[in-house]
Structure 1
Amino acid sequence: MTTKLTVLATGGTIAGIAGSAIAHDYRAGEIGIEEYLERVGGLGLEAELSGTQIANIDSADIGPHVWHPLHSAAMAGLGDEDCDGVIVTHGTDTLEETAFLLDLTLPATKPVVIVGAMRPADAVGYDGLRNFANAVRVASDRQAAGRGVLVVMGDRVFAARDVYKVRTRGTEAFRGFPRESVGLVTPASLDWFGAPWRSDTSAGFALPDELPQVEIVYAYAGLDGPSIARQIGKSTSGVILAGVGEGNMPESVRQELVKLARRGVAVVRASRANEGLVDREPEDDANGFVAARALNPQKARILLQMLVAGGETDPAAIQRAFDGR
């Protein structure tokens, strides 16, 4: 029986054109989904593909205006009895954020796979076709269900919870933390490194119509409290500190963030380091801070937006939600 997959296209490098096989510069989001599916039609993929163009832009421009229609289309695909899985084509710059948002807000009843490319479609060594063929292999596998949203890049399968971009060039541009890849894939084979992990396949959150304003503050040597005050507006509902080391900060920054926490602004300590846990410290209770655990700043921001949108303001409850991720 042929697997039927819904492909939701958002643009990015995988649909990009350079106009030269060796040029460095290129235009993201130039190939439409119908043309793209025609291109992959000659690969002999064992799946029936139907496509919808959600957007055709550089992923640096992706945000809620794309997330909402993308989420709606993914929900429609997951609810369609004739659809066995969903593939999302996406630029790599913000891929991890879209993947995590969908992971939080979609049920895990069928495979959902996000795929991109590091080279445009007319470049030497274009990786998009292989990545897409690998995504079809993963989305066609029944064992992909129950794992939440998955990301396929460079012959590796990553969980949305873990994946992050580590390089600006080259096809091995993604890694995972705390888990590395959760599977290895080629167009002809797929090996998982464990059983599906979602005991509850229902969506963790409903995607709100509007996402609260949550800012990310990047810590650096010499950052001070007044700099924080200038960055945070009156409408800010939450702050993610991309702290040094294990979510650390200068003392004057801590004092400013404590003021915000006492005003009811949710404050989460994350780390600007690529890998490492940010655990709670004894001072967090007095400061009113939350520790991001393994979530990087950009993913911590999305989780906090979901929590604040749902009316959660208690630091202890927010901490439990981060601990559960």
Structure 2
Amino acid sequence: MTTRLKVLATGGTIAGIAGSAIASDYRSGEIGIEDYLEKVGGLGLEAELSGRQIANIDSGDIGPKVWNELHAAICESLADDGCDGVVVTHGTDTLEETAFLLDLTLPATKPVVVVGAMRPADAVGYDGLRNFANAVRVASDPDAAGRGVLVVMGDRVFGARDVRKVRTRGTDAFRGFPRESVGLVTPASLEWFGAPWREDEAAAFAWCDDLPQVVIAYAHAGLCAEEVLRLVGEETRGIVVAGVGEGNMPERVRQELALLAQGGIAVVRASRTDEGLVDREAEDTPNGFVAARALNPQKARILLQLLLASGTGHPAAIQRAFDGR
């Protein structure tokens, strides 16, 4: 029986055009979904594909408006008995954030796969077609269900919690932490490295159309407290520190953030390092801080937004949620 997949397009490099096979610059989101599906029609993919254009933009411009429409479209597809899975095409710059947000707010009932490309469609060595074919292969596999939202890049399958972009060039630009890839895929084969871990699991969080404002403060040598405080406005409900090392920051910054935490603003310590595991420290309790564990700053921000939107605001409760990720 042919697998029926819904392809939801948001733009990005996978739909980009350079105008030259060797150009160094290009325009993201130039190819519409119907033209793209016609382009992949000759690949012989063993799936029936139908498409919908959610957006056609650079992923740096992705935000709540697109997320709202994308989430609604995925939910509609998952509820359709005539749809076996969903593929989302996305730019790579914020792909990990969209995938993680969807992973936290979708049930693990049918495969949902996010895919992108590092090279535009008319470039030498365009990786988009292979990545897309691999994504179709994954989304067509019944064993992909129960694993949450998956990301397919460079012949590897990643869990949304783990995946992160680590390079600006080359097709092997993504890896996972703390888990590496959860599977290997080609257009003709798929190997999983373990059993599904979220079988029939409901969404962890209800969808929120208007996420609370959470800012990210990037720690660096010489960071002063005034720089951080300038990020905080009347609507700010949380701060994620992209800390040096294991979520560290200058002492004066720590003091000011502890005061903000006492005033009800959630403060999460993450790490600016590529593979940063931030454990809870004894000082976190008196400071009112939360340790991000294995989540990088941008993912910690999304989890904190969803927690605050759900009414979870006490540092201990927020910490339990981060420990559970």
**TM-score if structure 1 supplies the norm length?**
0.99
Opposite residue 118 of structure 1, the aligned amino acid is M
Unaligned runs of 5+ in 1: none
Task: Tell me, in whole angstroms, the C-alpha distance in 1 between the residues paired with 2:270 and 2:199.
Answer: 27
* Equivalent in the alignment of 1:76: 76
How do 1:13-162 residues align onto structure 2 when only pairs under 5 Å count? Answer: 13-162=13-162
Structure 1 residue identity aligned to 2:34: E
How far has the Cα of 1:276 moved from its partner?
2.6
What is the CA–CA distance in structure 2 between the aligned matches of 1:193 and 1:28, rounded to whole Å? 33
Q: Secondary structure at the match of 2:236?
A: coil
Q: 2 CA distance for matches of 1:277 and 1:199?
A: 27
Distance 1:129 1:81 in 2: 27
Query: Which residue of structure 2 lines up, in the alignment, with residue 219 of structure 1?
Result: 219
Task: State the partner residue of 2:297.
Answer: 297
Q: How large is the RMSD of aligned CA atoms in angstroms?
A: 0.6
Q: Quote how far apart the aligned CAs of 1:199 are.
A: 4.8
Q: Distance in 2 between matches of 1:228 and 1:129?
A: 43
Letter in 2 for 1:214: V
Q: Distance in 1 between matches of 2:152 and 2:200?
A: 23
Which one-letter code corresponds to 1:261 in the other structure?
A: A
Residue in structure 1 matched with residue 177 of structure 2 by the alignment: 177
Q: What are the Cα deviations for residues 102-161 of structure 1, in whole angstroms up to 9, with x where unaligned?
A: 000011100000000000000000000000000000000011000000000000000000
Look up the equivalent residue of 2:133 and give its one-letter code.
A
CA contact (8 A) 2:109 2:200 kept: no
Determine the C-alpha separation between the residues in 1 that align with 2:130 and 2:228: 44
- The alignment partner of 1:237 has SS state of strand
Measured in 1, the distance between the counterparts of 2:59 and 2:219 equals: 25
**Residue pairs, 1:274-293, within 5 angstroms:** 274-293=274-293
CA distance in 1, matches of 2:58, 2:227: 31
Provide the C-alpha distance between the structure 1 equivalents of 2:195 and 2:276, rounded to a whole number of angstroms: 25
Alignment of 1:256-267 (within 5 A): 256-267=256-267
In the alignment, the residues of structure 2 paired with residue 210 and residue 12 of structure 1 have an alpha-carbon distance, to the nearest angstrom, of 24
Q: Deviations over 1:249-308 (max 9, x none)?
A: 110000010011011000000000010310100000000000000000000000000000
CA deviation after TM superposition for structure 1 residue 240, in Å: 0.1
* Partner SS, residue 246 of structure 1: coil
CA shift digits 1:201-256 (9 cap, x unpaired): 11011111201000000000001212211221121000000000000011000001
C-alpha distance after superposition, 1:145-184 (max 9, x if no partner) = 0000000000000000000000001000000000000000
Q: Percentage identity across aligned positions? A: 79
Change (3 A) 1:200 1:263: farther
- Output the amino acid matched with 2:202: S
Provide the residue aligned with 2:317 in structure 1.
Answer: 317
Determine the C-alpha separation between the residues in 1 that align with 2:231 and 2:61.
Answer: 21
Structure 1: how far apart are the matches of 2:119 and 2:12?
10
The 3-state SS of whatever aligns with 2:41 is: helix
The separation in 2 between residues aligned to 1:81 and 1:160, in whole angstroms, is 25
Hey, what does 2:242 align to over in structure 1?
242
